[in-house]
Structure 1
Amino acid sequence: MSTTIPDITHYTYRVSWSPEDQEFVATCLELPSLSWLAPTQDESLQGLRDLVDEVVEDLHRNGEPIPDPLSSRTYSGKFNLRVGERLHRQLAIKAAEEHLSLNQYVVRKLGDAP
């Protein structure tokens, strides 16, 4: 989290069709509580970007932490994952069958995920 104002164009935006609302909905991964509905994709994205700009300015004005864009964050390449004993055994067996380390097997499977 940052105390400086990030460039909001670097945030991760998504626009998708909402069948429930019969409009496009724009969301921002860094600020998941925000969304914007509009009849077109462009209007939805612009509405959300305007809202994000207001919210980020408000956070800054109040001295609250502002999320850094995902694209500017650093990642170590490591994370811990706890799985049950049964799943751990199954993964170890599958890895051994493919002559891979458990780590290589899991990385390959994660890379194959949609």
Structure 2
Amino acid sequence: MNKDHYTYRVTWSPEDKEYIGLCAEFPSLSWLASTSQKALAGIQNVVAEAVNDMEANGEPVPVAFADRHYSGEFRVRIPPHVHRALAVESAEQGISLNRLASAKLAG
């Protein structure tokens, strides 16, 4: 398990008036610091400690999002009237419904 593959993010916390380091794979962990660099280093250390503890206790360690396999497929249930509207829009644009939905999801 490469701890550097985890998904880290640093953002400003107006409530704390400090930067907060976060890790998507460990949503309960965070680190506050006066600079974004210190917040990143702090959350990386906290995650490394958590992974070491989990491994030492025989607990399963989350797989990094970057290391997971994604098929590119998932199912979404939508109301029939939305399905119909999307089908009409895709036909009017001359593209598949899949391509239209993918473009809308990508923003």
What residue is the counterpart of 2:33 in the other structure?
Answer: 38
Matched, 1:63 2:63: no
Higher relative contact order (CA 8 A, sep 6+): 1
In angstroms, what is the RMSD of aligned CA positions?
A: 1.1
- Residue from 100, 104, 108 that aligns with 2:99: 104
Structure 2 length as normaliser, TM-score?
Answer: 0.93
Structure 1 length as normaliser, TM-score?
Answer: 0.88
Runs (4 or more) in structure 1 with deviation over 6 Å come to: none
Query: Percent identity of the aligned residues?
Result: 47
What residue is the counterpart of 1:3 in the other structure?
Answer: none
Gaps of 5+ in 2: none
- Aligned partner of residue 9 in structure 2, secondary structure: strand
What residue is the counterpart of 1:48 in the other structure?
Answer: 43
Task: Tell me by how many angstroms 1:87 deviates.
Answer: 1.4
